[in-house]
Amino acid sequence: MTPSEIRELLARHGVRPSKALGQNFLADENTARRIVRLAELQPGARVVEIGPGVGSLTVVLAAAGAHVCAIEIDRHLLPILEEVVSGLDVEIVQADARTVDWAARLGPRSWTMVANLPYNVATTVVLGVLESAPMVERLLVMVQREVGERLAARVGDDAYGAVSVKVAFHAEARVVGTVSPNVFIPKPNVESALVRLVRHDRAPVEVRDPGAMFDLVRAGFATRRKTLRNTLDGRVDAERFARAAVDPGARAETLSLEDWARLADA
């Protein structure tokens, strides 16, 4: 849909974009088609879309032959969404993607997530899906550029942090494009990134307790400028650092996923 069509829809239904919900509606068909192309969908694919808003991306997903489960938290947008996707293979669900029961909603079959995620919940939603929705095997998400770089960062990247380690445990993530703020209504103050995540068939490292490892990772990154000896004081002693072959004088951003797994097991 064009910007004028979106403004007309919003005005006719008496709806304004919500700052609290981080609503920036996609208003460029070329960008929507680009997202669908990067998602690499096959005809008949099952797609879950978070935050469809006014349906700009939803209609292009359906036109590509996908069955779409569109999860929207804002009840005020439901009449607009129902109007826009009428007659298409789209199921509209009013729910909060941060708390939805994915197993009950999607079942065991394979799904792809394609979404323009609100900036304020993007990381929470992506990590929640990776942790608790194994049926979602691939994701193509549009997020704030800084968030996207963090999701896909590797050791040595400036954006590398606790979130990067957690994502790497579950999936292979890569930034596959950027999006100008000019294609949204209202226009955000930041550039967006398109991130593709492909879930691992099995975890790339063996670790006895992944939850304990992630707790250790969060503690390690809590104060980035401090050494692990200081940030993990009381958690890991010199003997355990030695057993894991990890330098206690190193900083968290220098440790790979494999390093964290060894340290957690030690």
CATH 1.10.8.100 domain extents, the chain: 210-265
CA distance 58 to 29: 11
CA distance 210 to 215: 9
Residues 6+ positions from 46 with CB-CB distance below 8 Å: 66, 67, 69, 106, 109, 110, 111, 112
Question: Is this structure's pTM higher than 0.85?
Answer: yes
Question: DSSP secondary-structure letter at 236?
Answer: S
Q: What kind of fold does domain 3-199 have according to CATH?
A: Rossmann fold (3.40.50)
Query: Where does residue 148 fall: left (phi above 0), alpha (psi -120 to 50 degrees), or beta otherwise?
Result: alpha
- Please report, for residues 9, 134, 210, the alpha-carbon distance to residue 4 in angstroms, rounded to integers and kept in the order given: 9, 39, 49
CA distance 154 to 156: 6
- Residue 49 backbone phi and psi in degrees, to 5: -115, 125
- Identify the segments of the chain with pLDDT beneath 50: none
CA distance 121 to 98: 8
Looking at residue 31, its pLDDT comes to 97
Looking at residue 169, its pLDDT comes to 98
Q: Helix (H, G, I), strand (E, B), or coil: what is residue 174? A: strand
Looking at residue 1, its pLDDT comes to 83
CATH 3.40.50.150 domain extents, the chain: 3-199
The hierarchical CATH code for the domain 210-265 is 1.10.8.100
Length of the chain: 266
